[in-house]
Structure 1
Amino acid sequence: MIRTPWRRREEPLDHAELRRLLPAPGDPELSSDRLRGLEEHLMTEIRNRTPDTAPDIAPDPLAGPPPAGAPAGDRASRPGRRSGRRPVLVGVAAALALAAAGVAALAGGPGGSGGSENPGRVAAPPAWAVPAPVVQVVRGSTAGLAGAVADISGAAARAELPEPGPGQFLYIRSEVSGLVSWEGSDGKNRSYVDKIHPREVWMSPDGAKGWLLEPHGKGTGRDGITLDDPEGGERTLNSPSHAYLKTLPTDPSLLLEKIYDETRGMGNGPDQQAFGTIGDLLREQVVPPKLAAGLYRAAARIPGVVLVDDSVDAAGRHGIAIARTDESDGSRTEWIFDRETFAYLGERTVQTRDAEGIRAGTVRGHTAVTGRAVVDALKQRPAGSAQGGDRAGAPAAPSAGT
């Protein structure tokens, strides 16, 4: 289209003077970095993405090639629909509230950039954010992976986990922290994270009823939000319930084939999506023991999965980790396990190389599971557990396996 240039008319002197005195109008749209930061904070555990500076490609440490759903020529990242998120992770109400809070902070609300009131100054980050920790990136290796997975899956299979009865609820308590991408008034992007805070989830076995309490998560308020699903939506790998998990096969080959098939076209490539899907199932569920063992063995068969000798969860507990680096942005997700009991402790995401304004070694997020139990009512806590708004002084050791 050819546009006719507009002619500038002569303006009275007072208009010209006024224009020189006022600041230039700002861009009403958020930058891509700020939008990305809001999205990652909105979804809490950030789904991570990019390659190691020298990525380790793991051969199958236990047996067999990848399933037919993941041919070798299909490893490259490809555009497509993003992975569906489980309702238990972030409810719709939480998403809307969090988006509003995030935009207000970034656009000049309390703790955000100061706008015209602080010209030339770098405003303070949101009050609930702290500088992201930076750690030395420990290189992963396939050496020892098969043995570690055998120990971890064996412990998971032997675990005695709570089994909910009619009318009861599964309860999961965690300590969590996620990335906050904050841009100062100087236009520079800085990496901050939420202060580590408690998160509590209650779920009915069929997934129809639930509650999320995360008072410091900028989305649920002090009373929390409902996770009820009155319409009883279809259960899938990305939207599971405890009852649905009990229907899945426990054989690693069948599990991996189902995961690749059901998540085809999602995320940043089939391998990373498969690894992320398994991680989501483990993070905030009570996974049946034999299924948990099968999931760990299935994960070890995904190309690029390595063993990391040392990682730290959000509660400060050290352990070994099963990890994979996302080939799109260099972020490595690590599932952390106790060195002695091989119990699942939590998850950490570390940036392996400088990318998207995030320096190598930055901890983009981490969690620590501090309790899993069965309770008789929604919002009821197990005996002796800490209140939702308070941090537990000494996190309880989670049950073995998950």
Structure 2
Amino acid sequence: MKIGPHRTEDPETADLAGLLPPPAVPDLTPERAQHLKAALLSRASTVDDRTAAAVRRPVSRPRLIRFLAPAVACALAVGGVVTFGTAETRPTGNVPAAASPEAARLLDRIALAAREGTRPPLRGDQFVYVESKVAYGAQSAGGGPVTLAPVHMRQVWLSADGTRPGLLREEGGPDSPLGADATARTTPQKLAQLPTDPDALLARIRAETGGSGTQAPGADPDQRAFAAIGDLLMETWAPAQVSAALYRAAGKIPGVVVVPAATDAVGRPGVAVARTSEGRQTQWVFDPATHAFLGERTVLTESGEAGPKGTVVGTSAILTRAAVDRAGETPRR
């Protein structure tokens, strides 16, 4: 079974529970699973401030292992998941009350770099093209150690306004069409509607992921918020001010730390911002000089059935992010 980043839940019946851990299910078709990706953003872009602050009770369900988010925006839309380990989340012990000062400072510098970055205008009839290298962890149905598959190419084309069919292409597999549905995806227009104040943005994300108010026993709302922010930073085309706000919001989450040395899926060295939960550490890897996002990886922090401490169980590297005119087209080099 593949251990990937994908959450498979029907947003029409789960009220944003796609960002919470669902039970194990078979891989979904891209068209159905595509509806999951926009759960957070479609709700976040339409609810008012009072609704965002309202208490929501998340659905209680078995724990989903989120080993890898290879540029997550589309990863959420097109894959499958398996359960692994305990049946319910347990909070990470001794989590500090805030992100470490080093992490907050680094994320502030990353936010400044993101805000100053420039991207060409994206027309509604274009596609966001993201090319990456990824490797997924896999585990047999009977359990045992996780095996990391070889790194392979991943390409995705996402309609800018959500009205045109997209495309997912992974090395070694057939092309997977992505259905057109502007209401079921995180389009640039929806990203642009998010708050640019970090506190307001984090409050919105916490509300939409069940991180404020009553929670399922043992749930880790901070990890859900951290994962949701990572999902909104990967295979997306976020406005510069929104990207900056997302990074600063992450700097306000308890338990976020700096990992001084980390590498992405193609071996590029960097510095990582990370958070540990359930014996796994999710790392966002950045170029130490330019603060550009390089990729993400997940590492075991506890020895167990999945493998020894320090085992990398998922990794990704973003190579290209560009605007193109049609699905299947690649930008000029």
Global fold match (TM > 0.5): yes
How far apart in 2 are the matches of 1:338 and 1:207?
A: 31
Indicate the residue corresponding to 1:175 in structure 2. Answer: 133
| Pair 1:330–1:188, CA change in 2 (3 A) | closer
- Contact 1:178–1:366 at 8 Å: present in 2 too? yes
Query: Which residue of 2 is the match for residue 290 of structure 1?
Result: 241
Cα deviations by residue, 1:290-340 (Å, 9 ceiling, x for unpaired): 1111001100101111111111000101111110001xx210000011111
Q: Where does residue 254 of structure 2 map in the other structure? A: 303
- What is the CA–CA distance in structure 1 between the aligned matches of 2:179 and 2:143, rounded to whole Å? 40
**Partner of 2:26 in structure 1?**
none
- 2:202 aligns with 256
* Paired AA for residue 112 in structure 2: G
Name 1:367's counterpart in structure 2. 316
| 1:147 has 2:105 as partner | yes
The Cα offsets for residues 41-93 of structure 1, whole Å up to 9 and x where unpaired, read as 4839xx999xxxxxxxxxxxxxxxxxx9699xxxxx9945889998832556x
CA pair 203-277 structure 1, distance change in 2 beyond 3 A: same
Q: Hey, what's the Cα distance between the residues in 2 that align with 1:342 and 1:335? A: 11
Q: Distance in 2 between matches of 1:48 and 1:256?
A: 16
Q: 1:207–1:242: 8 Å Cα contact kept in structure 2?
A: no
Aligned to 1:298, what secondary structure does the other structure show? helix
What is the DSSP-based 3-state SS (H/G/I as helix, E as strand, rest coil) of the residue aligned with 2:193? coil
Per-residue deviation, 1:268:
4.1
Partner of residue 150 from structure 2, selected from 180, 183, 195 = 195
Letter in 2 for 1:252: P
Corresponding residue SS for 2:3:
helix
Identity across matched positions, percent: 37
The alignment partner of 1:323 has SS state of strand
1:330 to 268, 274, 279: 279
Partner of 2:34: none
- State the structure with more CA Rg: 1
Structure 1 residue aligned with 2:269: 318
Name the residue aligned to 2:28. Answer: none
C-alpha distance in structure 2 between counterparts of 1:354 and 1:369, whole Å: 29
- The alpha-carbon deviation at position 40 of structure 1 amounts to 2.2
* Residue type of the alignment partner of 1:88: C
Which has the larger strand fraction?
2
- Per the alignment, residue 10 of structure 2 pairs with none
* CA distance in structure 1 between the partners assigned to 2:125 and 2:328 by the alignment: 13
Residue aligning to 1:215:
171
State how far apart, in whole Å, the 2-side matches of 1:249 and 1:205 are: 20
- Tell me the distance in 2 between the aligned counterparts of 1:196 and 1:322: 22
Out of 291, 299, 302, the residue aligned to residue 353 of structure 1 is 302
**Paired residues of 2:195 and 2:242 also in contact (CA < 8 A):** yes
TM-fit CA distance, 1:229: 2.9
Aligned-pair Cα RMSD in Å: 3.4
* Cα gap change, 1:310 to 1:70, in 2 (>3 Å): farther
Which residue is 2:88 aligned to? Answer: none
In structure 2, the CA distance between the partners of 1:343 and 1:48, relative to structure 1 (3 Å rule), is farther
Gaps in structure 2 of 5+ consecutive residues:
8-18, 22-51, 83-98
Gaps of at least 5 residues in structure 1 are: 1-37, 50-67, 72-76, 100-140, 385-402
- The answer to whether the 8 A contact 1:313-1:345 is kept is yes
Q: Relative to structure 1, is the Cα distance of residues 269 and 171 closer, same or farther in structure 2, using a 3 angstrom cutoff?
A: same
Is this contact kept in 2: 1:333–1:347, CA < 8 A? yes
Helix, strand or coil for the counterpart of 2:309? coil
Among 274, 291, 306, the alignment partner of 1:342 is 291
Judge conservation of contact 2:131–2:156 (CA < 8 Å) in 1: yes
Counterparts in 2 of 1:301 and 1:165: CA distance versus 1, 3 Å: same
- TM-score under structure 1 normalisation? 0.59
What CA distance in whole angstroms lies between the structure 2 residues aligned with 1:42 and 1:274?
A: 15
- Give 1:160's aligned residue: 118
Q: Does the Cα contact within 8 Å between 2:258 and 2:271 map onto a contact in 1?
A: yes
SS of the counterpart of 2:75?
Answer: coil
Which moves more between the two structures, 353-362 or 80-89?
80-89
Deviation digits for residues 177-199 of structure 1, max 9, x if unmatched? 1111136xxx7713211210011
